[in-house]
Structure 1
Amino acid sequence: MKRLLPLSLAFALACVGTATAASAPPGTRGQVLGDGVGYVSVVRLEHQPDAAANGHMLMVFERDGMAGIPLYESDDGGAHWRFLSNVTDQAHGKDPRWQLRWQPHLSELAKPSADLPAGTLLLGANATGDDATGRLVAEDLQMYASTDGGRSWRYRGSIVKGGGNPSDKDNHGVWEPNIHRLDDGRLVAYYSSEDHKDAGFNQLLAHKVSTDGGRTWGEEKVDVAIPGGVERPGMAVVDRLPDGRYVMTYEDIDGPNNGQVYLKISADGLDWGDPADRGTPVRTAAGAWPAASPIVRWLPWGNSPGVIAVVAERAGGDGDPSGRSIYWNNDGGRGPWWEAEAPVQKLTGNIHAGWTQALLAMPGGRLWHATTSSTAAEPEDARKNVVMYADAPARFDRYEAEDAVRRWSVRIGDRTASNGAKARMASAPGGQLTFPVHVPTGGNYRATVRWQDLGFTPAVPVLRVNGAVWKTTDHTDRDGWHVATASGSLREGDNTVVLEGARRPADIDYVQLDPASGR
């Protein structure tokens, strides 16, 4: 992605001790760590030689200025953070025009890679160089390694170099390194490149492989490239699925739907199929889709295959433009996606707020989430953005009504509704919401329907599962909502849950499906 914001060279922040959380901006939810423009990356240590360090968390992000990449640590599950250091450029001889500044990505080696032992921390980031006038003219995607839990870092090598200012139409910039270890011990670095404009590609996604622990990198291989000179696939993030396959998300700027997030799958992390094939769009059955600067994470949930989760800066279709949802799919990326409320509720007043986020599965079935938010007072100034974090119970058994296939129904925002929205469904015979749901295990399930009448005589919507009516029992919930419950059998795999309008229109919040025996 091109940078549209000139970052000040004058600002540098050195923090010592424990970070004190400031007040959250109005309209947000979460703890504030401090100033941060965007691009949060977090790792939870699991493979350290000192077992006492396992469970500690490290965080990096972009901060305005030329002080380097700020690194923070938490030893209490992400509840509190303390500043460790700024990781700075070591490849350009302390040249003041060069600094490690943008798009940091943290990871930990579960197994050795070349001379790097298990537990080594890897940091990929973009070092930028300015000319004598202070104008950015060059990029260098670098990799650093730490074998002492992030206390010290050493430069390993340059992945790829680029040139030009992001605002220049003919720039040849390189962006957004995302580094992983392959099963054979080699390292792979995915990145975005603008170095192929002469070949008709405005920007493309590529990768290189290292056999020596990141000291040197091999030839470039293209992963996603859309011809025509307009579309800008970018910001690739990769994760591993439990069956061994790799999953990638990226944004397609200036594509058919600007910023649409796509999903691609690879058996080995190296072959992603035809580069001109965009992959599978991430979207709900109702047509909402996450947009711009996505991340993808596989999360354990219930029985295999778990959940693929995507968060992004914003959304298209009729999704929340502030991008405060997690999009999830429990069928390996097949079929429709559903929304769940993200732990941090941010503001997106500029393109850098929410630009690459962190999402981790935590013990006890919880999610830990970090992102950047714009401020209410100066939303358009990315230099005023703040890093926010929160954790919350993971919830991937709730099917939001606004995400269902809607007939004579419309999405409406409502703060009293789950995920801040509901579907208003017309009365019979026109109103209908269809939920194509996938369950990994068949058996008896309990359905919960949260719904609300519109001031008329209440009439409970009809719940039909795989063609059979489930008899509901209804009672009043809070905020004027009702909860109707029913039980019945679901088959393993795909099922169709339908809510049909009764004699009165109704607002539908969600359908929740829980195994009758409990989780």
Structure 2
Amino acid sequence: MRGADKILLSLAALASAAPAHDPKPFSLFEYKTIWQAPPGVRAFYPRLTELKDGTLLVTTGTSGNRSLAGLSSFPVFESKDGGVSWKQVSNITDQVNGWGMTAQPAITEMTQDVGPYKKGTILASGNSWSFNETAEGVGTKIDLYASRDRARTWEFVSNVAVGGRPNTTNGADPIWEPYLMIYDNQLVCYYSDQRDPDHGQKLAHQTSKDLKTWGPVVDDAAYDLYIARPGMTVIAHIETINKWILVYELPIGNSSSYGSNYPVHYRIADSPLEFQSAEPLPIVINKEFAPNASPYVVWSPVGSKKCGTIVVSDADNSQVYTNQACGDVDKWEMHATPQPAAYSRALHIFKKHPDHLMILGGSTFDFDEGDDPNLSASVVSLTEVVKGKYDKKGCDSRR
């Protein structure tokens, strides 16, 4: 049996085992499995986008599936009822390198025309890499794919950037962690970049007005201290004040901040193309706790009339971190959620339900014994989270 067939059978088994009474469409729910990973496989680093009609598309990196289904790929799942039910609609596969789509997926819907690609086209990216010498060589490649049929089929569009062999050692030259955003009738691809000899790693972006050709590398967070390694760009628009927030992790050698070795930082700028000149700020709770690693950020108009609510997630804890003061560095709060900690969880605020916060997760980075390998999500009331509905239940720390 082919690996793809095994995955489909796994999904069918999951569907047959689903509870008899699912939540109502677009309702709140705590922890629901989207994809039950086959034996030996785990989901990690999930990403999602909401289409104009409210359809959700989710994709995820997978590990351990080379023996199961050949080269790694990103399965794509669709929900038309706010995350209550899901079906797999495609796989995003490497069509050009012979390496697979190895890790760190990105997905978004085009909200504007860009070159020959029309509004409503689905774009996806990820890191295709090879450790070992092959006929195709070794390296890391951030490639762009497009779907004109609502994520059913995918076509290779262009290569955004190329780096060296996957290696997180300072002095190596790979690239990592793409993040896609349509802005001002162009596509912006943000990523982590180790190729600059002046920086162990920096955050950068490139833009394209036709999705085929790409402009120069522009710095978003590059520190004078060589061993500083900002990573894992995620961006949100704070609509009430028309500013943009960038969150990232910031390891610096063996140092730590309040016990976090990858403390979460953020910058707020007038333009999503001008973060390098914005002030870098840490997220610290009550001057005693710093979120750790692979942050994600969203914004909701719910909360403060002037500022709404900024919501940030990290890798090591089930909590989220909220700010209803337009990003004031002294106004961060921590609140528990029912969704377990996971490597690079994703967040989402529903366009027609701005109080609904989806927390999307997979496995943890180290995947300790007993950890959940599946792709899963919770949809909770942001208002109730901020009021502390789950705080009394305690929190789940994987640190």
Q: TM-score by structure 1 length?
A: 0.63
For 2:229, give the aligned amino acid.
R
For 2:56, give the aligned amino acid.
M
Is residue 2:206 matched to residue 1:218? no
In structure 1, what is the Cα distance between the partners aligned to 2:175 and 2:365? 29
Deviation, structure 1 residue 181: 1.3
In structure 2, what is the Cα distance between the partners aligned to 1:166 and 1:272? 26
In structure 2, the partner of 1:42 is: 48
Deviation, structure 1 residue 418: 2.5
In structure 2, what is the Cα distance between the partners aligned to 1:396 and 1:333? 20
Kept in 1, the 8 Å contact 2:337–2:390? The answer is no
In structure 2, the partner of 1:77 is: 82
Larger RCO, structure (CA 8 Å, separation 6 or more): 2
For 1:14, give the aligned amino acid.
I
Kept in 1, the 8 Å contact 2:359–2:379? The answer is yes
Is residue 2:387 matched to residue 1:392? no
After alignment, is 251-260 or 155-164 more displaced? Answer: 251-260
In structure 2, what is the Cα distance between the partners aligned to 1:61 and 1:128? 16
Is residue 2:266 matched to residue 1:263? yes
Deviation, structure 1 residue 308: 0.7
Secondary structure in structure 2 of the residue aligned to 1:289: coil
Deviation, structure 1 residue 67: 3.4
Is residue 2:347 matched to residue 1:355? no
Kept in 1, the 8 Å contact 2:236–2:245? The answer is yes
CA deviations on 1:377-435 (whole Å, 9 max, x unpaired) are: x72598x72212121222268466xxxxxxxxxxxxxx9952517xxxxxxxxxxxxxx
In structure 2, the partner of 1:420 is: 394
In structure 2, the partner of 1:238 is: 235
In structure 2, the partner of 1:281 is: 282
In structure 1, what is the Cα distance between the partners aligned to 2:348 and 2:12? 22
In structure 2, what is the Cα distance between the partners aligned to 1:298 and 1:155? 31
Deviation, structure 1 residue 239: 1.4
Kept in 1, the 8 Å contact 2:158–2:213? The answer is yes
Kept in 2, the 8 Å contact 1:359–1:369? The answer is yes
In structure 2, what is the Cα distance between the partners aligned to 1:260 and 1:173? 22
Kept in 2, the 8 Å contact 1:19–1:82? The answer is no
Secondary structure in structure 1 of the residue aligned to 2:215: coil
In structure 2, the partner of 1:208 is: 206
CA deviations on 1:443-488 (whole Å, 9 max, x unpaired) are: xxxxxxxxxxxxxxxxxxxxxxxxxxxxxxxxxxxxxxxxxxxxxx
Kept in 1, the 8 Å contact 2:170–2:227? The answer is no
Deviation, structure 1 residue 237: 0.6
In structure 2, what is the Cα distance between the partners aligned to 1:76 and 1:86? 21
Deviation, structure 1 residue 165: 3.0
Kept in 1, the 8 Å contact 2:338–2:390? The answer is no
In structure 2, the partner of 1:379 is: 368
Point out where structure 1 has 5 or more consecutive residues left out of the alignment: 1-9, 24-28, 47-53, 315-322, 348-352, 401-414, 422-519
Kept in 2, the 8 Å contact 1:375–1:385? The answer is no
Query: Could you say which structure has the larger radius of gyration?
Result: 1
| Distance verdict in 2 for CA 1:417–1:42, change over 3 Å | closer
Secondary structure in structure 2 of the residue aligned to 1:395: helix
Kept in 2, the 8 Å contact 1:175–1:192? The answer is yes
In structure 2, the partner of 1:298 is: 299
CA deviations on 1:191-233 (whole Å, 9 max, x unpaired) are: 001112x32x111101111121x21111001111123332211
Is residue 2:177 matched to residue 1:176? yes
After TM superposition, list the pairs within 5 Å mapping 1:143-154 onto structure 2. Answer: 143-154=144-155
| Distance verdict in 2 for CA 1:208–1:241, change over 3 Å | same
| Distance verdict in 2 for CA 1:188–1:375, change over 3 Å | closer
Is residue 2:186 matched to residue 1:186? yes
In structure 2, the partner of 1:332 is: 326
For 2:228, give the aligned amino acid.
E
Give the CA RMSD over aligned residues: 3.1
In structure 1, what is the Cα distance between the partners aligned to 2:162 and 2:291? 30
Kept in 1, the 8 Å contact 2:189–2:206? The answer is yes
